[in-house]
């Protein structure tokens, strides 16, 4: 099997497109509020917590 430059360039372009798509994905975010850390994974918009006063 002989590899041709056109094949390499096609694969290279495809991989570059995948890398750009990966870079543009939403990223995880962390918020620290009064010592509590909330981690939001990619795509999450808000966090909520239960305090000791709210537990049954």
Answer for the pair 26, 43: CB distance below 8 angstroms, yes or no: yes
pLDDT digits (tens, 9 = 90+) for 7-45: 999 999 999 999 999 988 877 776 677 777 777 777 776
- What is residue 48's predicted lDDT score, i.e. its pLDDT? 64
Torsion of CA 16, 17, 19, 24, to 10 degrees: 140
Going by pLDDT thresholds of 50, 70 and 90, the confidence category of residue 50 is low
Answer for the pair 47, 40: CB distance below 8 angstroms, yes or no: yes
* pLDDT reading at 53 higher than 70: no
Is the pTM above the cut of 0.75? no
């Amino acid at each position: 099997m002989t590899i041709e430059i056109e094949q390499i360039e096609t694969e290279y372009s495809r991989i570059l497109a995948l890398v750009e798509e990966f870079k543009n994905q939403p990223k995880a975010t962390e918020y620290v509020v009064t010592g509590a850390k909330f981690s939001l994974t990619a795509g999450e918009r808000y966090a909520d917590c239960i305090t000791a006063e709210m537990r049954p």
